[in-house]
Amino acid sequence: MSARFKAGDRVRVRVGSPPGHFRTPAYVQDKIGAVERFHGDYRNPESLAYGGDGLPRRPLYLVRFPQSQLWPKYTGPARDQLLMDIFEHWLEPA
């Protein structure tokens, strides 16, 4: 697969609660972040958790979020950020 996003792209995490094992926490869903880097294509852990083969491989990104965007009452420094690995099928252009 080829990467849909590149470093610096703004992305929104899609909202979803599919049955079973999914790897995208609710607190980042519907939030906008910026791609830090593309890690490569990896087997999908949402399939691997149930004994599947994780194929096809899916693009995985490191995404940066300002802490203040994730936590409305956050009182720490404005420069504080959260970095999270997120698979491409959870991301859309922002």
Q: Are 59 and 53 in contact (CB under 8 A)?
A: no
1 falls in which pLDDT band (50, 70, 90)? low
pLDDT digits (tens, 9 = 90+) for 7-58: 999 999 999 877 666 789 999 999 999 999 999 999 988 888 888 899 999 9
Number of CB atoms found within 10 A of residue 5's CB: 19
What domains, with CATH codes, occur in the chain?
Answer: 1-60+90-94 (2.30.30.50)
Say what the pTM is. Answer: 0.90
